[in-house]
Amino acid sequence: MLIRQLYDHDTFSFSYLLADLQTKTAMIIDPVKERLSLYLQLLEEFELSLHYAIDTHLHADHITGMGALREATSCKTLVGQSSKMDCADEQFADNDIIHCGNIILRALYTPGHTNDSYSFYLEENNGMPPCVFTGDTLFIRGTGRTDFMGGSSEDLYNSLFSQLLTLPDHTIVYPGHDYKGMNQSTIGEEKQHNPRLQVKNWQELAAIMDGLNLANPKKFTVAISANAKCGEVP
Amino acid sequence: MLIRQLYDHDTFSFSYLLADLQTKTAMIIDPVKERLSLYLQLLEEFELSLHYAIDTHLHADHITGMGALREATSCKTLVGQSSKMDCADEQFADNDIIHCGNIILRALYTPGHTNDSYSFYLEENNGMPPCVFTGDTLFIRGTGRTDFMGGSSEDLYNSLFSQLLTLPDHTIVYPGHDYKGMNQSTIGEEKQHNPRLQVKNWQELAAIMDGLNLANPKKFTVAISANAKCGEVP
């Protein structure tokens, strides 16, 4: 079992290559279109067959590499059933299991950043601690924003407290972005030290989120329309 | 035992926080001055006492955070005995052991990028695979340059093939920089897939290195003079 965290410097985005080295099958979570050659290089070096390209949600800050990977490798593209991405081959719902070789990934519906946000949980395996790929729902010492695309601070609060924070404390958190220089954490650590998880109710979280006043991401318009077509730029 | 890879986006540099969570003692390898507040935040969150700030070599591309950490935490600053950094509290030599709580780090003299470059090896521990912090000697699918500060392709070849590549294949490689979007590898993987490790002798490596024609790093002049004083900018 191989997990590789890959970084797109231009958009501060993490993608994840997950591979079962026995069956030589792999999936990539949240691929970035401009990093296609890196993904293909790693697939070739590890002699992997890519089964799935998966997005945690319809991204507004980078163009998904799902379509480009499908074209290059014939993999299937997967998105959550709440995503408006008709281009995808298959959809998953809350608690669905995604199999890839011996990798068993559980989809968790975690709306809040957007109304189509999912996280993915990988159980403890062969001494490797459990992991959760949190997309833009939970960042290290932060969270995704909630001010567009069906975002909701109440949903985010529920996704964090009723879904992600109920995972074992030693679960490794692999986020969708990093802006601060940290690339890994644990659920226990975030519970204790993430400022947005020190709130008592969703209204307190909403007060934090409402005060952020963030500008739209640089690629906002082009990303949303392209990503609805799995990354095809008109 | 905790290992955290920390990233400075401005200079593409990795620093490493290593902590023994039993004795609550820590060291930081290759701190970047501008990231001081992140290091102090993590030390406080984990309730760690910083024993050492260590540089793998005198950096030419960023200003070391060793001095700032010493001032903020009263830690000791450590450099290799080949480093011209009189400001440091202690020096280590090839094969010296650096103790910090239950962390046992072995210094490996790996000149080539500069003539004062060291790597640090951490043995397998409690099911955690061995790790090597390679500074600018070995990058993922690359190496540091060899065209200034006592750099030498012949030295680099020897450091790579006679030191680093003799470590167990499953040793995790933690490099000093990443420009390509990869933050972790293994010795076995680099042996197989790093283009600069496919050479038969130092002359072949020198031919690659001589063809690079790299510009000096942006902070070259200020970094070298500041780093000779542990990061004090005149």
**For the segment B21-72, what is each residue's pLDDT rounded down to a tens digit?**
999 999 999 999 999 999 999 999 999 999 999 999 999 999 999 999 999 9
Residue of B nearest to A185 (CA): B4
For residue A219, what pLDDT is reported?
Answer: 86
The pLDDT of residue A233 is above 80:
no
The pLDDT of residue B170 is above 80:
yes
Partners of residue B45 in chain A, C-beta under 8 Å: 189, 192-193
Q: Which of residues B8 and A83 earns the better pLDDT score?
A: B8
Nearest to A35 among B6, B9, B181 (CB): B181
Q: CB distance A181–B4 less than 8 Å? A: no
Residue of B nearest to A45 (CA): B193
Q: Classify residue B111: in a domain, yes or no.
A: yes
Q: Classify residue B165: in a domain, yes or no.
A: yes
Mean pLDDT, residues B79-102 taken together: 94
CB B216 within 8 A of CB B148: yes
pLDDT band, very low/low/confident/very high, at A234 (cuts 50, 70, 90): low
Q: Classify residue B230: in a domain, yes or no.
A: no
Reduce the DSSP state of residue B154 to 3 states and report it: helix
Mean pLDDT, residues B128-143 taken together: 97
For residue B219, what pLDDT is reported?
Answer: 86
Q: CB distance A178–B7 less than 8 Å? A: yes
Q: Which of residues A174 and B86 earns the better pLDDT score?
A: A174
Q: Classify residue B107: in a domain, yes or no.
A: yes
d(CA A115, CA A58): 9
The pLDDT of residue A133 is above 80:
yes
> What pLDDT, in 10s, does the model give residues A138-156?
999 999 999 999 999 999 9
Q: CB distance A181–B38 less than 8 Å? A: yes
Q: CB distance A45–B5 less than 8 Å? A: no
Q: Classify residue A234: in a domain, yes or no.
A: no
> What pLDDT, in 10s, does the model give residues A20-67?
999 999 999 999 999 999 999 999 999 999 999 999 999 999 999 999
Q: What is the mean pLDDT of chain B?
A: 96
Q: Classify residue A149: in a domain, yes or no.
A: yes
Q: Which domain holds residue A61?
A: 2-83+92-216
Number of separate domains in chain B: 1
- Percent of chain A whose predicted confidence (pLDDT) is above 70: 100
For residue A178, what pLDDT is reported?
Answer: 93
With residue A189 as reference, give the H or E element that holds it: helix A187-193
Mean pLDDT, residues B156-162 taken together: 98
Q: Classify residue B228: in a domain, yes or no.
A: no
Q: Classify residue B234: in a domain, yes or no.
A: no
Q: Does B45 touch chain A (CB under 8 A)?
A: yes
Residue A33 tokens, joined: 């279109």
Partners of residue A124 in chain B, C-beta under 8 Å: none
Q: What angle do CA A102, A108, A112 make, to 5 degrees?
A: 150
Residue A143 tokens, joined: 């969270």
CATH number of the domain within which A164 lies: 3.60.15.10
Gap from A95 CA to chain B (nearest CA, Å): 30
Cβ neighbours for B104, distance < 8 A, ≥ 6 positions apart: B97, B98, B122, B123
Q: CB distance B7–A192 less than 8 Å? A: no
Kindly state the greatest CA–CA separation across chain B. Answer: 49
What ipTM goes with this model? Answer: 0.95
d(CA B156, CA B149): 13
For residue B44, what pLDDT is reported?
Answer: 98
Q: CB distance B38–A178 less than 8 Å? A: no
Q: Could you tell me how far CA A98 lies from the centroid of its own chain?
A: 14
For residue B79, what pLDDT is reported?
Answer: 97
Partners of residue A6 in chain B, C-beta under 8 Å: 181-182
The size of the A-B interface in CB pairs under 8 A is 43
Gap from B8 CA to chain A (nearest CA, Å): 6
Gap from B94 CA to chain A (nearest CA, Å): 30
